[in-house]
Amino acid sequence: MTFRRHSVVRDEYVPAYLSLISNSLSWGGSRLFNRLHGVGINEWRVLSAVVNEPACTATRVGDVLGLNKSVVSRSIRLLQDRELLTVDTTGGRRGLRLTDAGHEVHDQLLAVSLRREELLLAGFSAAEKAQLLDFLRRMYRNVPAMNAYQPDEGTTP
């Protein structure tokens, strides 16, 4: 039996570009956010999620952001240590809320994040941005099917 070896042509493989862009956004954002406010990209994401859903739980933050529970927990601890976030245990629920300082950091990082988005999308029209968002949303809806895919052992799809 002869096996043919193929490789991914990176310039034609969508996951390669998504990964490159995602890594660049995360690494660049973390470096910048750490320099500006001593928080990384995951902490920024938690701040943003809590602003969008005040009093949400850590579980909800993980679900919304698609982050592992341990990553969310570490980020919450760091934000609490920095006095940017509090955990309200009233009613037996662990609701997350930003402090005044947390709102201030959030608002400053929001401006930076929006500017980074502008730079990333330089040369795109408003219609192209809308189309890109439509494509990305459609791809995101396909993620469960992609992750559920299990080829039979010993066979090629």
Decide yes or no: CATH 3.90.850.10 for domain 13-136: no
Query: Look-up: residue for tokens 């579980």?
Result: 59
R_g of the chain computed on alpha carbons: 20
pLDDT at 148: 95
Distance CA 81, CA 115 (A): 28
**Contact present, 62 and 69 (Cβ < 8 Å):** yes
Residue 51 pLDDT exceeds 70: yes
Q: Where are the domains of the chain?
A: 13-136
Q: Phi/psi zone of residue 38: left (φ > 0), alpha (ψ -120 to 50 degrees), beta?
A: left
pLDDT one-digit tens code per residue, 53-75:
999 999 999 999 999 999 999 99
Burial environment of residue 50 by CB neighbours within 10 A (0 to 12, 13 to 18, 19 or more): buried
pLDDT one-digit tens code per residue, 75-107:
999 999 999 999 988 877 899 999 999 999 999
Q: Identify any residues that bridge with 86 across adjacent strands, giving them in sequence order.
A: 97
Mean pLDDT across the chain: 93
